[in-house]
A and B are shown apart, each in its own frame.
Chain A
Amino acid sequence: MSMIQMCKIAKIYPNGAPALHDIDIQIPSGDFVYITGSSGAGKSTLLRLLYCADRPTRGQILMGKRNITRLSPRKIAFLRRQIGFVFQDFKLLLNRTVLENVALPLQVQGVGNEETRARAFELLQYVGLEYKTQRKPLELSGGEQQRVAIARAMIVRPKLLLADEPTGNLDYCLALEIMDMFSRINREGTTVLVATHDKELIQQNPRRVIALKNGHMLSDSRPGPDIAATNTSTVKSREAL
């Protein structure tokens, strides 16, 4: 079953700058996908469309069986409760403790205090930060902050995890550690989409790769010894090339 289906998606920003052109993507449930491309390729825009921070100028996006192209703010909020987010700049609340940051999504959903705290602690154990629950984000290293962000993303047991350049602010070892964590999350059944330009990282942990260039989809490929499984196709177009 498709987790995400994007049909003929185009995005042009209000200032007239085109960001995406005719993107067709299908991502099955439980898949692990890298969205790759150089800066300005449209990776972040693609993710923004998936969590409804922007609306596509043309085309439709289905998440499960639901069309998310034109949702009301309230429905967007409820949709986001099923998605986990991890960003390059961690997006943690600096004036709250690690535990409070992780617990935040459940608080928003009105889950009881005890259950929230227990689940937050469980997630902090999962990312190996159970000894730093009362620290503030700025008292942690970059890798630790990103692990807090991952714990916060996972606390809602999301069906989909979106990560936008999650290793951009981390050194190579920490980046590998974070990618291992994403693989583990994926093995447990969560669909994972990681936007990154780091080819070395992709080579270390090869998965399906969707490559973008200037808003066009260049290729959609799967790794592995079985070449038949590799579906490399040049999708678009003269302008992109």
Chain B
Amino acid sequence: MKRLRYFIQRTVLSMIQSPLLSSATIGTIAVALMLLAFFTLIVLNVQNITQQWSRDIQVTVYLERVPSTTKLEQWQQEIDEHPMVENVTYISQKQAFERFRTRLGQNEDLLDGLLPEILPASFELSLAQEARNERGAEILVKELKKNPAFSNFRYGQDWLKRYDAFMFLLKLTGTLAGGFLIFATLFIISNTIKLTIYARRDELEIMTLIGATPMFIKIPFLAEGALQGIIGALLALGGCHALYYFFLKKGLSALLTTTTAGNISFLPLPMQLSVIFLGFLLGICGSMLPLRKFVRI
């Protein structure tokens, strides 16, 4: 208990007694983690937006002939139970005709004299999350083709190809930039902590001379590193929130459509906790390495 009190007291006092070194470490951790958190925030929101786009991916199955109501319900149920299908809607010939008329707008009179039977009935399938890509759509279509009554399929092949290519590029850029950013963050933080511990190497030497055990010397430094990491991470989250609020939410809302801007959100709570935990880990690990070097009895 006495020891614990000493360690807590030492951790806090040492930060107060070396304000410049502490601020340098906390500042570096805050800036580095803020960049990382902001990058994650952008990646997450881009993912959200692309996920919304992917909801528009659907397969339309045109029917050769309109079957009996029983048959129709049976097919609809079969399709609905397929694991790659999220939802299925039957569009009758009349509904298709009305929809076409609406789309024509001012030119709707072109349809005058025509009957709804000119258009085929269809099933519109929205895909399950994991099937929202070109390959998923193709697999589903291949399976549906087994039913000879399904004459024709449309699933926006060209659009899907472009969507897939875009997603691949996005993931590649995200991984490369994220990897680089994580590496740079680790490098900067560990070097800053190393420098601050180097600046206090006299203190480490004196502690070893007066008979402190290696653990007794290291614990306050590790605790200090952890505390600085947590404070830095909290500041990083604060800074990231400010960037999110002023740059993403307010600033970009003018550039993006209303619906998309409304969907830009801050890091979810588990991510925020992860940033704090990362700060804690970086503080401890960043201190551990130089301490191993400098605490030599």
Q: Which residue of B lies closest to A105 (CB)?
A: B210
A95-B17, A95-B18 are contacts. A108–B212 as well, Cβ < 8 Å? yes
Residues on the A chain within 8 Å of B208, using CB: 77, 80
A73-B297, A110-B2 are contacts. A91–B202 as well, Cβ < 8 Å? yes
Whether B211 and A77, one on each chain, are in contact in the complex, defined by CB atoms closer than 8 angstroms, is yes
Confirm or deny: A152 has a beta carbon within 8 angstroms of a beta carbon on chain B. Answer: yes
Residues on the B chain within 8 Å of A52, using CB: 297
| Cα-based distance from A145 to B175 in the complex (angstroms) | 56
Confirm or deny: A81 has a beta carbon within 8 angstroms of a beta carbon on chain B. Answer: yes
From B17, B206, B211, contact of A78 by CB (8 A) = B211
A76-B297, A95-B17 are contacts. A51–B209 as well, Cβ < 8 Å? yes
Confirm or deny: B98 has a beta carbon within 8 angstroms of a beta carbon on chain A. Answer: no
A95-B18, A96-B17 are contacts. A77–B213 as well, Cβ < 8 Å? yes
Q: Number of contacts between A and B (CB, 8 Å)?
A: 57
Confirm or deny: A238 has a beta carbon within 8 angstroms of a beta carbon on chain B. Answer: no
Whether B210 and A108, one on each chain, are in contact in the complex, defined by CB atoms closer than 8 angstroms, is yes
B residues 52-102 near A (Cβ < 8 Å) are none
B residues 1-42 near A (Cβ < 8 Å) are 2-3, 6, 17-18
Whether B214 and A73, one on each chain, are in contact in the complex, defined by CB atoms closer than 8 angstroms, is yes
A95-B18, A96-B17, A110-B3 are contacts. A104–B210 as well, Cβ < 8 Å? yes
Confirm or deny: A230 has a beta carbon within 8 angstroms of a beta carbon on chain B. Answer: no
Most chain B CB atoms below 10 A, which of A81, A107, A112: A107
From A77, A93, A152, contact of B203 by CB (8 A) = A93
A residues 56-93 near B (Cβ < 8 Å) are 73-74, 76-81, 83, 85, 91-93
| Cα-based distance from A79 to B2 in the complex (angstroms) | 22
Residues on the B chain within 8 Å of A112, using CB: 2
Q: Which residue of B lies closest to A92 (CB)?
A: B206
Q: Which residue of B lies closest to A87 (CB)?
A: B209
Q: Which residue of B lies closest to A71 (CB)?
A: B297
Q: Is the interface of B mostly helix, strand, loop or mixed?
A: helix
From A81, A93, A110, contact of B206 by CB (8 A) = A93
Whether B6 and A107, one on each chain, are in contact in the complex, defined by CB atoms closer than 8 angstroms, is yes
Confirm or deny: B168 has a beta carbon within 8 angstroms of a beta carbon on chain A. Answer: no
Whether B17 and A81, one on each chain, are in contact in the complex, defined by CB atoms closer than 8 angstroms, is no
Whether B211 and A109, one on each chain, are in contact in the complex, defined by CB atoms closer than 8 angstroms, is yes
What's the nearest-Cβ distance from chain A to residue B138, in Å?
65
Residues on the A chain within 8 Å of B202, using CB: 91, 93
A73-B297, A112-B2 are contacts. A80–B205 as well, Cβ < 8 Å? no
Residues on the A chain within 8 Å of B206, using CB: 91-93, 104
What's the nearest-Cβ distance from chain A to residue B116, in Å?
88
Q: Which residue of B lies closest to A89 (CB)?
A: B202
Residues on the B chain within 8 Å of A81, using CB: 210-211
Q: Per-position contact with B for A145-166: 1 when CB-CB < 8 Å, else 0?
A: 0000000100010000000000
Whether B214 and A80, one on each chain, are in contact in the complex, defined by CB atoms closer than 8 angstroms, is no
| Cα-based distance from A112 to B213 in the complex (angstroms) | 18
| Cα-based distance from A73 to B207 in the complex (angstroms) | 13
Whether A74 and B6, one on each chain, are in contact in the complex, defined by CB atoms closer than 8 angstroms, is no
What's the nearest-Cβ distance from chain A to residue B24, in Å?
15
From B18, B205, B207, B297, contact of A108 by CB (8 A) = B207
Given contacts A80-B210, A95-B17, 10 further A-B contacts (CB under 8 A): A73-B214, A74-B214, A77-B211, A77-B214, A85-B209, A91-B209, A95-B18, A107-B6, A108-B211, A110-B6
Name 22 A/B residue pairs within 8 A (Cβ), A-sorted: A52-B297, A76-B297, A77-B211, A77-B212, A77-B297, A80-B210, A81-B211, A91-B206, A92-B206, A93-B202, A93-B206, A96-B17, A104-B207, A104-B210, A105-B210, A105-B211, A107-B6, A108-B211, A108-B212, A108-B216, A110-B3, A156-B210
Point out residues on B near A: beta carbons under 8 Å.
2-3, 6, 17-18, 202-203, 205-214, 216, 297
Closest 7 pairs between A and B when the two form their complex, measured CB to CB: A81-B211, A80-B211, A73-B297, A95-B17, A105-B210, A108-B212, A77-B213
